[in-house]
Amino acid sequence: MERKHTDFDNLFNIVSWSMTLQDHLREQLNFEVTDQTDYMIGLHLIDLVNEEGYLTEEVDAVAAQLGCKQTQIALVLSRLQHFNPPGVFARNPSECLKLQIRALDWLNPAIKILLDNLKLLAEHNFPALVKLCAMSIIEINDIAEQIKT
């Protein structure tokens, strides 16, 4: 039996679009933010996220663009940084790692210090990290291995 082309087939063509990161973030914004001003700030911040998920503008620049206080932008940004995927809205790789580790409920003061000093980790300057983090080389190495994954 020959199948006829129907409007139902056209529906599949319309629905088959792929969701972008911005689409995914807007969907979360719709559920998470009810205040109208915060929602508008959130939409603007979503538009400033690049394809890797990094925020491309600093808080002070966004505040100037929108005519808002920096504290209000920072508060909305903090909420958006809890969105999925973990690490989205970070402004640099270190912040991205912190957000991802926070999502795993793994962030503690020693790990925060380690993440603030990724350059030392990249240089394998373990004596400095041991001193800063008050951790053993073994613990730092274990954390470094976890970060790599």
Residues 61-88: tens digit of each pLDDT: 999 999 999 999 999 999 999 999 999 9
Report whether pLDDT(118) > 90: no
Would you say residue 95 lies in a domain? no
pLDDT value at 17 more than 70: no
Domain count for the chain: 2
**128 and 120 Cβ atoms separated by less than 8 Å:** yes
CA dist 140 and 120 (Å) reads 11
Judge whether residue 104 has pLDDT over 90: no
103, part of any domain: no
Q: What are residue 49's phi and psi, to 5 degrees?
A: -90, 130
- Residues 33 and 72 placed together within one structural domain of the fold: yes
pLDDT confidence band for 122 (50 / 70 / 90): confident
Whether 5 is in a domain gets the answer no
Q: Name the residue range of residue 124's domain.
A: 108-148
21 compared with 105, residue with greater pLDDT: 21
In a domain, residue 35? The reply is yes
Q: Residue 47: what pLDDT?
A: 98
Same domain as 113, residue 75: no
In a domain, 31, yes or no: yes
In a domain, 120, yes or no: yes
| Residues in the chain, overall count | 149
CA distance 54 to 111: 21
In a domain, 113, yes or no: yes
Q: Are residues 69 and 118 in the same domain?
A: no
pLDDT of residue 34: 95
